[in-house]
Amino acid sequence: MKIVVLKFGGTSVGSIQRIKNVAKISISYLKKNYKIIVVSSAMKGETNKLVKLTKQLSNNFLPAEYDSILATGEQVASALIAGRLNDQGYLSRSWLGWQVPIFTHGKYSHSRIVNINKKNILKFLKSGGIPVIAGFQGINSDNRVTTIGRGGSDASAIMLAKFFKAEKCIIYTDVDGVYTTDPNVVPKAKKIQKISYEEMLEMASLGAKVMQPHSIQDARLNRIDIEVKSSFKNLPGSIITKRKNVSSKNIIRGVSFTKNDAKITLVGVKDRPGVAATIFEPLFKNSINVDMVVQNISSKKKETDLTFTIKNEDLLKTKKLIRKNKKIKFNNILIDEKVSKVSIVGVGMITTPGVTFRMFNALAKKNINILVISTSEIKISVLIDRKNLKKAVDVLHKEFKLDI
Ligand code: ADP
Ligand code: ASP
Ligand code: MG
């Protein structure tokens, strides 16, 4: 059985007209003799609306109920697609995560798919039907609805491709591929024909929303090639694949950025073993992701300044947790809510010296001050003032010849 998984994102299912288009694209694969599994996100904006509803009640909404609410957006979209396919004379039905079932492990809102029961869907495929599966959700061992992280229908698609041994996994979205940077911010961005899992994972983790990071980890682990393309224009997309399939003439593959970071500095923390762990433990327990970390020896001996970054949305909670933490002592807390992180990503930097210098020099020439730096084998990230973000992305895009 030749199976293709087609995933449609929020904008692609964002109106009735677009739902009709999704049905049309799906039918075109049926005509090419594929068995099709459709995966749908919620209609654009719906999941955010659901988040707002919960926030009106509480900032500490019960996690299981929170997920149960957030998963409802996908129910509407998947049933609309199945409805349209039926209306056009095709056998189709929607499936929610618990109906498949799609089994997940881990915390609510950040669960991961670990198993998928194939039986009923296979039977339906064999009878010529088109299953439309609600992305972003599953059930856990307590039989409760779970969600798998914002943007998670990408991961639903990859895991369905894995379990059904699909020949293709296509992510339909509102841009026609993965670009050197967000094409909606930098019009000079160029479409990347092929990108390695490693580079895509870094770009996605560092802010390129086009693919959810976990989905790329899952694809890499299971060696699933992904095609990212537009649901609006019939153009070739980008392929995310193994490193050896990708030629690398560019040192840098792309520039990613985040907009909503916050920087916290604890001034005058007592410098003794385990202090950083004591500070970060409650944050970790509350699912707050600490990103960049720097520790400076302060002028007074036995004290240190600890700086770290988090997402802006976690700032209130983080401040509360730090103030509540009686195990740590510090003289002052400084907060900068208007910082952004800009990163360059590319496997080429492993073998090319001088990339760091070129990055810092290009930023310096534009008078952009670097607040914090972090690096890995294939990425360099800097934290800067948010007001300099666009300028920084533009200059780095140009410096590494991504405009050409
Ligand atoms: P979907 O709803 O289809 O899942 P998303 O909004 O999650 O779509 O992702 C698509 C968006 O990702 C694009 O509209 C684009 O603005 C953004 N984006 C950020 N970085 C990149 C990049 N490097 N290449 C392509 N798109 C990007
Ligand atoms: N609807 C979910 C979200 O907005 C999942 C997704 O779009 O992939 O995060
Ligand atoms: Mg998405």
What type of residue is 395?
V
pLDDT tens track of the chain, all 404 residues?
899 999 999 999 999 999 999 999 999 999 999 999 999 999 999 999 999 999 999 988 999 999 999 999 999 999 999 999 999 999 999 999 999 999 999 999 999 999 999 999 999 999 999 999 999 999 999 999 999 999 999 999 999 999 999 999 999 999 999 999 999 999 999 999 999 999 999 999 999 999 999 999 999 999 999 999 999 999 999 999 999 999 877 899 999 999 999 999 999 998 788 888 999 999 998 889 999 999 887 666 688 899 999 999 999 999 999 999 988 889 999 999 999 999 999 999 988 889 999 999 999 999 999 999 999 999 999 999 999 999 999 999 999 999 98
The CATH number for 318's domain is 3.30.2130.10
Q: Is 286 near ligand 1, meaning CB less than 6 Å away?
A: no
Query: What integer pLDDT is reported at residue 130 of this predicted model?
Result: 98
Query: What integer pLDDT is reported at residue 300 of this predicted model?
Result: 63
Sheet-wide strand order for 145-147: 112-116, 102-105, 137-139, 145-147
What type of residue is 400?
F
Same domain? 113 vs 259: no
CA 173 to ligand 1 centroid distance, Å: 7
pTM (predicted TM-score)? 0.95
Q: Given ligand 1 and candidates 8, 21, 22, 173, which is best to mutate, with the most ligand atoms within 8 Å of its CB?
A: 173
Same domain? 270 vs 166: no
State which residues form the domain around 43: 3-174
369 DSSP assignment: P
The 10 Å CB-count burial string (b at 16+, else e) for 309-332 is bbebebbebbeebbeeeeebebee
Q: Is 282 near ligand 2, meaning CB less than 6 Å away?
A: no
The CATH number for 136's domain is 3.40.1160.10
Residue 215 maps to a domain = no
Sequence-separated (6 or more) residues with CB below 8 Å from residue 337: 262, 312, 315
| Residue 119: φ, ψ to 5° | -50, -60
Distances, alpha carbon 14 to alpha carbons 82, 174, 271, in Å: 15, 10, 53
CA distance 161 to 391: 40
Residue nearest to atom 21 of ligand 1 (CA): 182
Q: Is 14 near ligand 2, meaning CB less than 6 Å away?
A: no
CA 43 to ligand 3 centroid distance, Å: 11
Number of domains, the chain: 2
Tell me the three state secondary structure of residue 260: strand
Residue 225 maps to a domain = no
Same domain? 31 vs 165: yes
